[in-house]
């Protein structure tokens, strides 16, 4: 990013729910740590170059110890003879008020970052700020925005959300990746204007692609409704408009902002207990019977364990040409408050079945000890109760006043809150009477991006054409989604429409249990939930499908 082209501010988002747990365990071992040490290693290469080119660096790599990281950067600068001014933002750590927690952090906004940059900092490191605050705080400094410039701040927050996951905006993890060369996607950048609008692009000559599709995918990622609540502003995602400006340039305009809520989100991680697992390989014939036998043989040993979950993955193929493709995987995951009940004694008992169980018995790894797992919970506290502090390069501690927030409003479409009008679009093309349908994977037509928010997951889906949007909007209901994804049945599912993006966003509450660190599911962060949906088959009007898919003479799927 420093060598590829012009740059004013380089931001780095190092924190996630799982990262906070990892840093918490790191801090238990070494109290002076608790920050992302990889950031220091990157600065060894880039700090001098950034200083030479006048690029400010803003990162939340401070994690649980931003003051410690700031000191480490100063030592690095001194060792290399670089005259670098360093500031940090703190106040998010609420551990003194969270009994039994491993970490407890409020999600701060970008105002502390703005204050540090205004004081002349070359490098600003923070603890737990919102991911988008790295960009919105920097933009507020550059343009000298006021705290109540809600539309401008909201535009920068949206740009920050697009940038926060790096190459996910330039073709990484993209549903339609086969249409582009994404072997080494370049990092995205935002050209932000005074009015808060932006252009998402990347440095010339870097890989990947920036398109309306890649930007839409990231806009839908880990969001839970039209109102994107933040500590500085509430950004209205239902007002976002995207315009394709040509090769690798997508404009974001029209974003409206509202005052922030009066509370801040607080993320808390705790050690939830101990877990272990054994994966049995079942090969050839009688797969179901082999699975039933080993489950029966271990039933007594598992009776004292708090939870024991069995999953049979039918990865086997009939008449397979290799032993591996003739095999299925039976996974046992055990959890308990006591490490002894799910420790090596239990996994060893599973291994000791080797000569007395199903034919072909073997496992993927030797018996191991129990491992701790974490749980993540979130809550809200009054913003006025959190001491947001900018520690300037000269050591001055500047208190950042809490924003006068307003209570969260109902979402667009609820009674009393009229939705923001979508731009006029051509009427959707109507299929001729008797138009055939094709039974095809949904991903033939729709894109999807999914992710986690604590124990919840979201799936954002979108299409590229207006007529396809009309079909998607009327067809993919909550009930249809739950039928397509049976694992969501019985869980609360919320559906939101984002017409400007031709997109739907679903939130599935509780599907991830206690969050990623608890490893509740095979896919604990729901990263592939959207791809599972795209792989499900449905009847799609043939006129919406790519013309390269020929119809059979009967006009149905081959």
Residue 409: per-residue pLDDT: 57
Q: Of 129, 156, 182, which closes a domain?
A: 129
Model confidence at 545: pLDDT above 80: yes
Lowest mean pLDDT among 53-57, 414-418, 446-450: 414-418
pLDDT digits (tens, 9 = 90+) for 230-280: 999 999 999 999 999 999 999 999 999 999 999 999 999 998 899 999 999
Residue 98 in contact with residue 24, Cβ under 8 Å? no
Model confidence at 217: pLDDT above 60: yes
Residue 295 belongs to a domain:
yes
Model confidence at 373: pLDDT above 80: yes
Residue 338 belongs to a domain:
yes
Lowest mean pLDDT among 248-252, 292-296, 453-457, 489-493: 453-457
Neighbours of 475 (CB within 10 A): 13
Residue 69: per-residue pLDDT: 97
- 356 & 280 share domain: yes
Residue 75 belongs to a domain:
yes
Residue 385 belongs to a domain:
no
pLDDT digits (tens, 9 = 90+) for 378-430: 899 999 999 999 999 999 999 999 876 666 555 443 333 344 444 444 444 44
Q: DSSP H helical segments within 223-334, as ranges? A: 287-297, 299-302
Residue 160 belongs to a domain:
no
Residue 292: per-residue pLDDT: 98
pLDDT digits (tens, 9 = 90+) for 315-368: 999 999 999 999 999 999 999 999 999 999 999 999 999 999 999 999 999 888
Residue 158 in contact with residue 196, Cβ under 8 Å? no
What domain range is 100 assigned to? 1-129
Give CA separation, 245 vs 251, 296, 505, in Å.
7, 62, 26
Residue 144 belongs to a domain:
no
Q: Of 80, 105, 129, which closes a domain?
A: 129
Residue 193 belongs to a domain:
no
% residues pLDDT > 70 (the chain): 91
DSSP calls for 505-555: EEEETTTTTT-GGGT-SSSTT-TTHHHHHHHSEEEEEGGGS-TTSPPPTTS
Number of domains in the chain: 3
Residue 405: per-residue pLDDT: 64
- 459 & 363 share domain: no
- 10 & 121 share domain: yes
Q: What is the 3-state secondary structure (H, E, C) of 349-397?
A: HHHCCCCCCCCCCEECCCCCCCEEEEEEEEEEEEHHHCCCEEECCCCCE
Q: pLDDT band for 454, please (50, 70, 90 cuts).
A: confident
- 442 & 335 share domain: no
- 357 & 476 share domain: no
- 334 & 446 share domain: no
CA–CA separation, 167 vs 187, rounded Å?
5
Q: Which of 174, 83, 110, 100 is nearest to 393 (CA)?
A: 83
Residue 343, domain CATH: 3.30.70.2520
Neighbours of 366 (CB within 10 A): 10
3-state secondary structure of 253: strand
% residues pLDDT > 90 (the chain): 81
Q: Which of 96, 92, 97 is nearest to 108 (CA)?
A: 92
- 354 & 450 share domain: no
- 7 & 103 share domain: yes
Q: With DSSP H G I counted as helix, E B as strand and the rest as coil, what are the percentages for the chain, rounded to 5?
A: 30, 25, 45
Residue 125 in contact with residue 226, Cβ under 8 Å? no
CA 252 to chain centre: 21
Higher pLDDT, 403 or 48: 48
- 14 & 124 share domain: yes
Residue 426: per-residue pLDDT: 41
Residue 552: per-residue pLDDT: 39
Residue 96: per-residue pLDDT: 85
CA 46 to chain centre: 27
Give Rg (Cα) of the chain. 26
Model confidence at 97: pLDDT above 90: no
Model confidence at 537: pLDDT above 90: yes
Residue 183 belongs to a domain:
no
Q: What is the mean pLDDT of residues 29-37?
A: 91
Residue 326: per-residue pLDDT: 97
User: The whole model's pTM is what?
Assistant: 0.89
Residue 517: per-residue pLDDT: 65
- 450 & 365 share domain: no
Residue 521: per-residue pLDDT: 74
Q: Of 334, 351, 375, which closes a domain?
A: 375
3-state secondary structure of 63: coil
Q: Mean pLDDT in the chain? A: 91
């Amino acid at each position: 990013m420093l060598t590829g082209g012009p740059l004013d501010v380089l931001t780095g988002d190092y924190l996630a729910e799982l990262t906070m747990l990892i840093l918490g365990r790191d801090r238990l071992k070494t109290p002076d740590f608790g920050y992302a040490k990889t950031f220091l290693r990157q600065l060894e290469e880039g700090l001098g170059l950034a200083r030479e080119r006048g690029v400010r660096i803003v990162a939340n790599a401070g994690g649980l110890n931003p003051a410690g990281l700031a000191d480490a950067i100063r030592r690095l600068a001194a060792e290399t003879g670089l005259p670098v001014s360093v500031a940090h933002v703190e106040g998010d750590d609420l551990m003194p008020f969270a009994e039994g927690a491993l970490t407890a952090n409020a999600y701060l906004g970008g105002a502390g970052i703005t204050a540090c940059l205004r004081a002349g900092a070359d490098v600003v490191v923070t603890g737990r700020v919102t991911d988008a605050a790295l960009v919105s705080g920097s933009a507020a400094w550059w343009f000298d925005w006021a705290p109540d410039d809600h539309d401008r701040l909201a535009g920068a927050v949206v740009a920050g959300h697009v940038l926060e996951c790096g190459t996910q905006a330039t073709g990484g993890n993209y549903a339609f990746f086969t249409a582009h060369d994404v072997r080494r996607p370049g990092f995205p950048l935002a050209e932000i204007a005074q009015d808060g609008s932006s252009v998402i692009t990347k440095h010339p000559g870097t890989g990947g692609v920036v398109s309306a599709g890649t930007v839409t995918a990231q806009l839908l990622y880990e969001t839970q409704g039209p109102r994107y609540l933040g500590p500085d502003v509430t950004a209205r995602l239902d007002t976002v408009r995207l315009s394709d400006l040509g090769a690798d340039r997508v404009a974001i305009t029209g974003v409206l902002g509202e005052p922030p809520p009066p509370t801040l989100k607080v993320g808390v991680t705790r050690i939830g207990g101990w877990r272990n697992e054994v994966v049995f390989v079942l090969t050839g014939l009688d797969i179901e019977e082999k699975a039933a036998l080993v489950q029966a043989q271990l039933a007594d040993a598992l009776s004292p364990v708090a939870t024991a979950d069995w999953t049979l993955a039918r990865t086997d193929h009939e008449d397979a040409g290799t032993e591996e493709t003739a095999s299925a995987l039976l996974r046992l995951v055990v959890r308990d408050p006591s490490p002894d009940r799910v420790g090596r004694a239990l996994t060893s008992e599973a291994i000791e079945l080797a000569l007395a169980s199903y034919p072909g018995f073997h496992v993927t790894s030797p018996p191991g000890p129990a491992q701790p797992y974490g749980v993540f919970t979130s809550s809200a506290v009054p913003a006025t109760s959190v001491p947001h502090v900018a520690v300037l390069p000269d050591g001055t501690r500047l208190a950042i006043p809490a924003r006068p927030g307003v209570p969260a409003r109902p979402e667009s479409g609820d009674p009393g809150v009229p939705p923001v009008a979508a731009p006029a679009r051509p009427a959707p093309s109507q299929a001729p009477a008797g138009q055939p349908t094709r039974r095809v994977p949904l991903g033939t037509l729709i894109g999807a991006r999914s992710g986690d928010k604590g124990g919840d997951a979201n799936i954002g889906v979108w299409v590229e054409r207006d007529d396809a949007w009309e079909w998607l909007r009327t067809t993919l209901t909550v009930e249809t989604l739950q039928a397509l994804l049976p694992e969501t049945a019985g869980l609360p599912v919320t559906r939101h429409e984002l017409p400007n993006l031709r997109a739907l966003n679903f939130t599935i509450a509780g599907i991830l249990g206690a969050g990623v660190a608890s490893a509740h599911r095979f896919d604990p962060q729901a990263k592939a939930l959207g791809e599972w949906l795209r792989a499900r088959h449905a009847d799609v009007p043939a006129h919406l499908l790519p013309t390269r898919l020929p119809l059979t003479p009967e006009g149905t799927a081959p």
